[in-house]
Amino acid sequence: MNSAQIEIQLIASLVAIACAIPGTFLVLRKMAMISDAISHSILPGIVIGFFITHDLNSPLLILLAALTGIITVVLVEYIQKTGLVKEDTAIGLVFPALFSIGVILIAKNANDVHLDVDAVLLGELAFAPFDRLIISGTDFGPKSLWIISSILIITVVLLITFFKELKVSTFDKGLAASLGFSPAIMHYGLMSVSSVTTVGAFDAVGAILVVALMIAPAATAYLLTTDLKKMLLMAIGFGVLSAISGYWFAHWLDASIAGSITTMLGLIFLLVYLFAPSKGVIAVMYREKQQRTEVSLLTFLLHLKNHNEERERHVNHLQEHINWQKVRAKSVLDLALKNNMIEIDNNLVSLTKKGDAFTSKAIDYIITNEDAQIEDMKDDFFLFRG
Amino acid sequence: MDKKIAVQVDDLTVAYNYKPVLWDIDLEIPEGVLMAIVGPNGAGKSTLIKSILGILKPIAGSVSIYGKPYDEQRKLVAYVPQKGSVDWDFPTTALDVVMMGTYGSLGWIKRPKQKEKKAALEALEKVGMLPFKNRQISQLSGGQQQRIFLARALVQNAAIYFMDEPFQGVDASTEIAIINILKALRKAGKTVIVVHHDLQTVPEYFDWVTFLNVKKIATGPVKDIFNDDNLTKTYGINYKVSIQE
């Protein structure tokens, strides 16, 4: 690895971390689309800032562009508040308008501005190491590394300081307001951080990847944990993993780094979506199948409890009577045997003591919905896990 | 009446998009009552609570808690929002939600410590939810979720409790558990104000009632004012017929 490669991976990883933090809260606040809006509508801010400063990495440009991000949020909310259109429509109205202003500004001033629309959409991480911070002859590394580091430090300090406030205002706005933690302050604070992060990451990874880096790692982490702190850490982890694996994928393909990182984000999400232990598609399918079997088991046990007549309890009778197919009847029978809930004597099925107690308890639960008494059954049966 | 006034509302008018949902409300809630706010859908019951708590901005009027503005008296007040107002898939546990009740007394930036955790565990115990403290909140039943919300209000150790439909979608045993806790709060001298839907249970559960339908219809002791006349004024003509169906 040469130093440019290390620098690119470092920048990509820091961008991923800086995006994952506000991204987690955007996902939990169901505001994923607002990050898309911000990432596009900061373009006029960047262009105007560039006219003034002639430096894509100037702090003034970042502030100006972040301001356009905030304006986007305010405009979206204003249009939405009129009650004439819904939020998604308002987002769809605002950001193309602002983005197109940026596009026209670039086109009209193509000779003066070293910006093109491709670079804006996809960024060009490969060029980041060329724009270096040089102070009185000493090389301090790529400028974008410094920018994203500064933004990341601010984000982390704000996150640690206001974690409790962010959590409560995200979970329960009403409670936050009544406790005196103004949800508006938290909302605009989060929007400001998202805007600044977007601008800082924009130059390196472009408008589309910024959105992916904010949303995909958080959405992936959401499927794996039920703890907000772990969700943040996992989102950061997935972001960095995608950044580095994406870089090498691009290296191998000789393709766009931004595109490859986005592909990795998508792949990781897909894997987790399929295989996550409790929320993944396969786990859910398995659970549903188990629940069906368990409902059958309970039906069967109840039938045994209700009938003492021999003809109702004959093994072969089950198929005809409860109307189950052979395979299902057998799997239910096996499950009941395995759990020592029934005994079979001369092809006659009867409940064991354990089976009898279990049936009464389960039926009682289904009727009363009293959760506490079936706690011990949750480990063995999906049916009772709510 | 020589009883202290816990909550005083003067000339309160609240509007959504310039359409008033509460018109010129005057209301005095004496200390130590267990009060139901009743009225039809859209009567402004939740809006009234939210305006008292400063969550909504009224276009006119004022509210005071023990004679002072709400902002200065926050710590005296606990709030239980409607259960449906939050996302129960949020990645957090029952204990953590109850801990949020302690955030108000902590103020900005300060973190909850052992003391807050202990208070939260005690509140969970009071609502019979201690065994579920580490359960992810989406894994709780509707009744359990409501108990968690109640525990979160209890941990605030307030003087006045506002609850928005705490009995909505809970099973019978949770309803009894909740009302017993509310009655215990009143016994301890607290003031409890509940947005309530089930008119049948008003005389059994509450000692004070406010009839609301955009305007205040009546407020006072249940035994004096909970009658057909006020019910009809609040819910419209033939109210009695419809309740018997």
Taking the Cβ of residue B142 and every Cβ of chain A, the question of whether any pair is shorter than 8 Å is answered with no
Query: Closest Cα to residue B92, out of A193, A175, A242, A383?
Result: A175
Given an 8 Å threshold on Cβ–Cβ distance, is A28 in contact with B91? yes
Out of 1.50.10, 1.10.10, 3.30.70, 1.10.1200, which CATH number does the structure's domain A282-385 have?
1.10.10
pLDDT in tens, A197-206: 998 888 778 8
In chain A, which residues fall in CATH 1.10.10?
282-385
> Which structure tokens are listed for A278?
């409790």
Given an 8 Å threshold on Cβ–Cβ distance, is A179 in contact with B103? yes
From the centroid of its chain, how far is CA A33?
12
Given an 8 Å threshold on Cβ–Cβ distance, is B91 in contact with A172? no
Q: Which residue would you say has higher pLDDT here, A304 or A158?
A: A158
> Which structure tokens are listed for A367?
């009727």
Question: Mean pLDDT, to the nearest integer, of B59-69?
Answer: 94
Minimal Cα distance from B135: which residue of A?
A226
In DSSP notation, B71-133 reads HHHGGGEEEE--GGGS-TTSS-BHHHHHHGGGHHHH-SSPPP-HHHHHHHHHHHHHTT-GGGT
Q: To which CATH superfamily is domain A3-277 assigned?
A: ABC transporter involved in vitamin B12 uptake, BtuC (1.10.3470.10)
Question: Mean pLDDT, to the nearest integer, of B89-95?
Answer: 95
Which of B86, B129, B147 is the best substitution to test chain A (most A C-beta atoms within 10 A)? Answer: B86
Q: How many C-beta neighbours within 10 Å does residue A63 have? A: 14
For residues A180 and A2, the answer to whether their CB atoms sit within 8 Å is no
Residue B82, pLDDT above cutoff 80: yes
Distance from CA of A344 to the nearest CA of B (A): 37
pLDDT in tens, A154-212: 999 999 999 999 999 999 999 999 999 999 999 999 999 999 999 888 877 887 889 99
The 3-state DSSP class for residue B53 equals coil
Q: Which residue would you say has higher pLDDT here, A332 or B57?
A: B57
Please, which pLDDT band fits residue A127 given cuts at 50, 70 and 90? confident
Q: Which of A171, A174, A222 sits opposite B55 (nearest CB)?
A: A174
- Give the distance between the most distant pair of CA atoms in chain A: 99
For residues B27 and B7, the answer to whether their CB atoms sit within 8 Å is yes
Q: Pick from A294-298, A317-321, B53-57 the range whose average pLDDT is largest.
A: B53-57
The β-bridge partners of B14 are B22
In chain A, which residues fall in CATH 1.10.3470.10?
3-277
Residue B242, pLDDT above cutoff 50: no
Q: Rounding to the nearest 10 degrees, give the CA dihedral for residues B174, B177, B179, B181.
A: -140
Q: Which residue would you say has higher pLDDT here, A166 or A353?
A: A166
With beta carbons under 8 A apart, name residues in chain B contacting A189.
none
Question: Mean pLDDT, to the nearest integer, of B30-52?
Answer: 94
Span of A29-33, A368-372, B74-78 with lowest mean pLDDT: A368-372
Please, which pLDDT band fits residue B173 given cuts at 50, 70 and 90? confident
Residue A321, pLDDT above cutoff 70: no
Which of B63, B97, B108 is the best substitution to test chain A (most A C-beta atoms within 10 A)? Answer: B108
Please, which pLDDT band fits residue B216 given cuts at 50, 70 and 90? very high
Q: Which residue would you say has higher pLDDT here, A120 or A307?
A: A307
How far, in Å, CA of A325 to CA of A11, rounded?
60
How far, in Å, CA of B96 to CA of A272, rounded?
26
- Taking each continuous run of H as one helix and of E as one strand, the counts in chain B are 11, 9
pLDDT in tens, A52-86: 888 777 888 888 989 999 999 999 999 998 888 99
Q: For residue A323, give the DSSP letter.
A: I
Given an 8 Å threshold on Cβ–Cβ distance, is A177 in contact with B53? yes
Q: Which residue would you say has higher pLDDT here, A108 or A97?
A: A97
For residues B35 and B206, the answer to whether their CB atoms sit within 8 Å is yes
Residue A320, pLDDT above cutoff 90: no
pLDDT at site A260: 92
How far, in Å, CA of B56 to CA of B70, rounded?
12
In chain B, the percentage of residues whose pLDDT exceeds 90 is 79
Minimal Cα distance from A159: which residue of B?
B109
Q: How far is CA B225 from CA B219, B222, B233, in A?
A: 7, 6, 12
pLDDT at site A367: 72
Residue A230, pLDDT above cutoff 60: yes
**ipTM confidence:** 0.90
In chain A, the percentage of residues whose pLDDT exceeds 90 is 47
b/e burial code for range B123-160 (CB count within 10 A of at least 16 → b)? bbebbbbeebbebbbebbbbbbbbbbbbbbbbbbebbb
pLDDT in tens, B131-166: 999 999 998 888 899 999 999 999 999 999 999 999
Query: Closest Cα to residue A59, out of A157, A199, A225?
Result: A199
Q: Which of B71, B91, B109 sits opposite A231 (nearest CB)?
A: B91
Distance from CA of B100 to the nearest CA of A (A): 7
Taking the Cβ of residue B141 and every Cβ of chain A, the question of whether any pair is shorter than 8 Å is answered with yes
What does the mean pLDDT of chain A come to?
86
User: If you search the block for the tokens 């079997």, which residue do you land on?
Assistant: A293
How far, in Å, CA of B161 to CA of A130, rounded?
62
